Structure 1
Amino acid sequence: MKKIVSVVLPTYNEKANIEGTIKKVLEQEKYLPDYEINIIIADDVRSSDGIEQIAKELVKKNKEVHFIKVDPGLGVGLIKGHQYACTHLHPDILAQIDADGQVEADVLVRLVKTIEQGYTLAIGSRFITGGKNKLSLMRKLFSYGASMFCRLLIGPWDIAEVTNSARAFTPALFQKINLERLPWRERTFIVQPAFLHEAILAGAKYKEVPLVFKNRLEGYSKNKVFNYTYDVIAYGLDVRLHSLGLNIPFYKLIKRAKTLVKFSLVGVIGTIIDFFFYKIFINHFGMPPATSKGFSTEIAIINNFILNNYWTFRYRKTQTNIWQKLGIFNLVSLGGLVIGVLIVKFLHTAYGDGFVNLFGRPIAYNNFYFFATIPPVMLWNFTVNHFITWRHQED
């Protein structure tokens, strides 16, 4: 009975390349007579070029080809693809390769044979003897620089190629990797160097094998350089802190801080909108201040909800629909309003209606009372919305 190699091909708008890549991968079976190759196409839900229809046709024609839809991100495609393989195909070796045709498929043979030699992780590399990097000069410099940058920040130094996806490993090693620490849900390519680091922490016995890397025939690269660099730096600092014995979840904190900054900016915009419509309703519609405040606040709440839903928390997969989230967001905002009122009431009771002379101008205490409510109310709103309104649905 033949052994099984399950190869994950993560795709995002790779209609022009997928058939050719699958054909070349399956052709490697003749060089691996003891193995049956299965392919899992893990297609990003954002794909819009018609790849899903082509993939489903390939599944009908070939029992070795499987197709799944996954949430956005290279890491999600890879991890979900391997989890699918372990659950449904029970492979002897897990492998992965880019679907864009940039990596020559014959590397799969070398990856599998390396695992047969007793290694638990085989890594394709264009930067070792026998490897070839057929990109343009500028892209060669960028790819080499990116790998050096990741090795310096994350490691390990003894692996020359840490930024491409061509790898093979044992299912046992995959099961040992700490997915809680691995940033596999990010939409950048941070999963590539991070996976190697986590695999080594899990006890991987690894070896690099040469591969040929060339320009893609069709389509474009999905890598976002700025976001990728940000993630590498944040994850690298997390790794270094852990190496010093400081078990601080720095990467998660810095990513959450980024979300908090977005949430705060939305809050500032909401405050401006609230004040603008408050004055409009009073000056142009003759509404009483209390009524004006009610309408202007609700307009600001709806504005903040839209911006948070489609910007701050846009990557969150939740169990609630948009109307449920809007209702919860309103209740949370009402809770923030109550907190603010209580703080102002307490400060007013304690300090009264005095004035303070600031830069030669009298400033009423009530201005300070207003600004004193901002940090606790923002913390309340962010925390509750983070954990309830836009709570991420774990798979």
Structure 2
Amino acid sequence: MSEGLVIIPTYNERENAALIIRRVLALPRAFDVLIIDDGSPDGTAELVRGLLPEFAGRLHLEERRGKLGLGTAYLHGFRWALQRGYPYVFEMDADFSHNPDDLLLLHAACAEQGYDLAIGSRYVIGVNVVNWPMSRVLMSWLASWYVRGVTGMPISDATAGFKCYAAHVLQAIDLNHIQFVGYAFQIEMKWLTYRLGFRIKEVPIIFTDRTRGLSKMSKGIFQEAFFGVLQMKLDSWLRPLSGARGPRPG
């Protein structure tokens, strides 16, 4: 029985896809993998499709037409996971910036320590980023500082994309009303989890910039995050959340 589903969105990740899949499926915990490919022109989906017989029942592929955005890929994966009853659902990049071994730490925080959301954090104990230029490290750190200042949410790495959700968190969030698709999506999901009172833990990780393939970062992604945070805070005043609530984050 699988202990969780690792969702990995891909777009032009042929150089990394098979490697990351094998690393995750070789872990001592029985995690399944769902690749969500947005029509990669480099043949990523074709490569993954060729691995399906080797990892039957553990590796899954969802193919979408066109580059529809990171947030929509994860929302697709969340619904897919909930329909199949996975107890824990992970977000993870395909490019090895997230160490697959750290999935075990995120899982333990939720399954053994009782947290509802575990975040692989670059900044909870100093700055743990490898191979990024100082300008990008500073921009990322300042983005999290800005989010904390605007929202009051006590999370050191607000834009982190390496996470483990207990399924009941995703069931409590109205996934049909998530507004953002880029960096702001990661902030919005944490913000809603926090507002619903679920317990959140930041697990320190070392983030290593990709060594294969090209980054998907753009100016528009950062702009969405900057203005999106203000919109989230305003919406929290105008539209109180309803639905299931957990204990306040500890």
Q: How many Å apart are 1:9 and its aligned residue?
A: 0.3
SS in structure 2 at match of 1:67: strand
For 1:121, the aligned partner's letter is L
- Structure 1 partner of 2:5: 6
Q: How many Å apart are 1:202 and its aligned residue?
A: 2.6
1:144 aligns with 2:141: yes
CA distance in 2, matches of 1:38, 1:220: 26
1:98 aligns with 2:93: yes
1:246 aligns with 2:238: yes
Q: For 1:1-395, what aligned pairs fall within 5 Å after superposition?
A: 2-28=1-27, 30=28, 32=29, 36-45=30-39, 47-63=40-56, 64-70=58-64, 72-88=68-84, 90-116=85-111, 117-129=113-125, 132-134=128-130, 135-156=132-153, 158-184=154-180, 186=181, 188-225=182-219, 227-243=220-236, 245-247=237-239
Larger Rg: 1
Q: How many Å apart are 1:130 and its aligned residue?
A: 7.9
Question: Percent identical across equivalent pairs?
Answer: 28
TM-score under structure 1 length normalisation: 0.56
SS in structure 2 at match of 1:106: helix
CA distance in 1, matches of 2:35, 2:91: 10
Structure 1 residues 155 and 228: CA distance shift in structure 2, 3 A: farther
Q: How many Å apart are 1:238 and its aligned residue?
A: 2.2
After superposition, the C-alpha distances for 1:161-200 in whole angstroms (9 at most, x for unaligned) are 111211001111101112244224x3x3221111100112
Q: How many Å apart are 1:232 and its aligned residue?
A: 2.3
- The CA RMSD measured in Å over matched residues stands at 2.0
Greater RCO (CA < 8 Å, at least 6 residues apart): 2
Gaps of 5+ in 2: 241-250
Gaps of 5+ in 1: 249-395
After superposition, the C-alpha distances for 1:301-348 in whole angstroms (9 at most, x for unaligned) are xxxxxxxxxxxxxxxxxxxxxxxxxxxxxxxxxxxxxxxxxxxxxxxx
* Residues matched between the structures, number: 235
Structure having the higher helix fraction is 1
